[in-house]
A and B are shown apart, each in its own frame.
Chain A
Amino acid sequence: MADTVATVTLTINGREVTVPKGTTVLEAAKSVGIEIPTFCWHPKLKPVGACRICYVEIEKMPKLQVSCATEAMPGMVVNTESEKVKEGRKAVLEFILINHPLDCPTCDKGGECDLQDNTFAHGIDDSRFDFNKYRFIRERKSTFDDYRIGPEIVRNQNRCILCFKCVRANKEIFGEYDLGVFQGGNISEIDTAPGEKVDSIYSGNLVEICPVGALTNTDWRYKIRVWKTQQVKSVCSYCADGCNLTLWKERDKVYRVTSRRNDVIDEGWICDVGRYGYQLASVEGRLTTPLIKKGDKQVAATWEEAIGLIARKFREIKDKKGGVCIGGLISPQQDCEALLAFSKFFRTQLHSNNIDFRTEYKMLPEKESPYYSRLTSASFRIADIENSDTILVVGTNLIKEHPIVHLRVRKAVNQKGAKLYTLNPFTTKSGDLSRDEIVHVPGTLEAFLNGLCIGLAEKADGEGNVRAAELKARLEPNTTAKAAEICGISEARLNDLAEALRSAKKISIIVGELVSGSPAREAIAAAIHNLTVVLNLNERGQAAILSRAANSKGAERLGVMPSLSKELQQKLKSMWGGFPETEGRATDRMIHAAKKEELDALLIIGANPVASFPDGQFVREGLDKLDFTVVADLYETETTEKADVVLPLSSWVEQSGHFINLEGTMQRFEAAIKPVGNSRPGRQIIEDIAREFKGGLFADAHEIAREMQELLNVEPRPSFPDAVAEVKFAEEKIEKDYPYPLFVVDEMHHFGHLTERSRSLAAFAAEAQVEISPSLAEKLQIENGSLVRLESETGKLVLPAKISEMLDNDVILISRNFSGTAANMLQMRKKRIDRVRLIRVDEK
Chain B
Amino acid sequence: MEKRILFKYIDDPNQIHIDTYIAHGGYKAWEKTLKTMQPAQVIDEVKKSGLRGRGGAGFPAGMKWNFVPKDSPKPRYLICNADESEPGTCKDRVLMEQDPHGVVEGMAIAAYAIGSHLAFCYVRGEFVKPAALMEQAVKEAYDKKMLGKNIFGTGYDLNMVVHTGGGAYICGEETALLNSLEGERGMSRIRPPFPAVEGLYACPTVVNNVETLAAVPHIINNGGEWYASMGTEKSKGTKIFSLSGHVKKPGNYEVEMGTPLSYLISELGGGPLDGHKIKAIIPGGSSTPFLLPSQIDAPLDYESIAAAGSMLGSGAVIVMDERTCMVWVIERLIHFYRHESCGKCTPCREGTGWLEQLISRIERGEGKPGDLEKIDSICDNILGRTICPLGDAAVMPIQSALKLFRDEFQYHIDHKKCLVKSEFEFK
Contacts and interface: CB of A to CB of B under 8 A. Distances in A.
Nearest to A97: B350
Interface stretch (A177-185, A260-268, A315-323, A735-743): A177-185
A52 B382 CA distance: 11
Contacts of B339: 184-185
A106 to B, nearest CB: 23
Instruction: Tell which of B338, B339, B347, B349 has the most Cβ of chain A within 10 Å.
Output: B349
B304 interface: no
A186 B190 contact: no
A52 B386 CA distance: 8
A50 B357 contact: no
Interface residues of B, number: 30
Contact of B350 (A63, A66, A98, A128): A98
B345 A50 contact: yes
Given A184-B342, A188-B343, A98 B354 contact: yes
A188 B349 CA distance: 9
B385 A64 contact: yes
A748 interface: no
B342 A49 contact: no
A188 B187 CA distance: 12
A164 B190 CA distance: 14
B387 interface: yes
A677 B192 CA distance: 60
Contact of B347 (A71, A95, A181): A95
Contacts of B350: 95-96, 98-99, 186
Interface in B299-352: 338-347, 349-352
Interface in B181-217: 185, 187, 189-190, 192
Contacts of A98: 350, 353-354
Contact of A134 (B185, B353, B385): B353
A185 B169 CA distance: 12
A488 interface: no
B357 A131 contact: yes
Contact of B385 (A47, A52, A71): A52
Contacts of B344: 48, 50, 162, 164
A63 B343 contact: no
Contact of A186 (B187, B341, B381): B341
A185 B347 contact: no
A186 B347 contact: no
A52 B347 contact: yes
Contacts of A698: none
A480 B343 CA distance: 56
B343 A186 contact: yes
B168 interface: yes
Given A69-B190, A181-B185, A184-B340, A52 B352 contact: no
Instruction: Tell which of B345, B346, B353, B384 has the most Cβ of chain A within 10 Å.
Output: B346
Contacts of A52: 345-347, 385-386
A162 B343 contact: yes
B374 interface: yes
Contacts of A71: 192
Contact of B353 (A94, A181, A186): A186
Interface in B343-372: 343-347, 349-354, 357, 368
A183 B186 CA distance: 11
A799 interface: no
A107 to B, nearest CB: 20
A213 B347 CA distance: 21
A489 interface: no
Instruction: Tell which of A51, A91, A164, A184 has the most Cβ of chain B within 10 Å.
Output: A184
A51 B347 CA distance: 8
A50 B385 contact: no
Given A184-B339, A184-B341, A95 B346 contact: yes
Interface in A66-112: 66, 69, 71, 88, 91-92, 94-96, 98-99
A129 interface: yes
A412 to B, nearest CB: 17
Nearest to B383: A63
A775 to B, nearest CB: 27
B345 A185 contact: no
B346 A96 contact: yes
Contact of B384 (A51, A63, A129): A63
Interface string B63-97: 00000000000000000000000000000000000
A735 B256 CA distance: 82
Interface string A154-182: 00000001101000000000000000110
Given A98-B354, A185-B338, A128 B374 contact: yes
B384 to A, nearest CB: 4
Interface string A14-56: 0000000000000000000000000000000001111111010
A62 B383 CA distance: 12
Contact of B351 (A95, A130, A131, A184): A95
A63 B380 CA distance: 12
Contacts of B185: 180-181
Nearest to A53: B346
Nearest to A99: B350
Contacts of B353: 98-99, 134, 185-186
Contacts of A99: 350, 353
Instruction: Tell which of A63, A71, A186, A188 has the most Cβ of chain B within 10 Å.
Output: A186
B385 A91 contact: yes
B384 A185 contact: no
B134 to A, nearest CB: 26
Interface string B164-188: 0000100000000000000001010
A464 B91 CA distance: 69
Contact of B346 (A47, A92, A181): A92
B345 A186 contact: no
Interface string B211-234: 000000000000000000000000
Interface in A174-213: 180-181, 183-188
A164 B353 CA distance: 19
Contacts of B352: 185-186
Nearest to B342: A184
Nearest to A171: B184
B269 to A, nearest CB: 34
Contacts of A48: 189-190, 344
Instruction: Tell which of A50, A88, A183 has the most Cβ of chain B within 10 Å.
Output: A50
B367 to A, nearest CB: 12
Contacts of A161: 346
Given A185-B352, A186-B341, A49 B387 contact: yes
A164 B352 CA distance: 19
B168 A91 contact: no
A48 B185 CA distance: 14
A185 B342 contact: yes
Contacts of A183: 343
A184 B353 CA distance: 11
A162 B350 CA distance: 11
B173 to A, nearest CB: 13
A661 to B, nearest CB: 34
B340 A50 contact: no
Interface in B269-310: none
B354 A51 contact: no
Contact of A63 (B187, B192, B381, B385): B385
Interface in B136-157: none
A179 to B, nearest CB: 12
Contacts of A91: 347, 381, 385
A95 B381 contact: yes
A66 B340 CA distance: 23
12 contacts: A53-B346, A55-B385, A62-B384, A91-B385, A94-B381, A95-B347, A95-B354, A180-B185, A184-B343, A186-B350, A186-B352, A188-B342
Interface of B: 168, 185, 187, 189-190, 192, 338-347, 349-354, 357, 368, 374, 381, 384-387
Given A66-B190, A161-B346, A186-B341, 10 more contacts: A47-B190, A48-B190, A62-B384, A64-B385, A95-B351, A128-B374, A162-B346, A164-B344, A185-B349, A185-B352
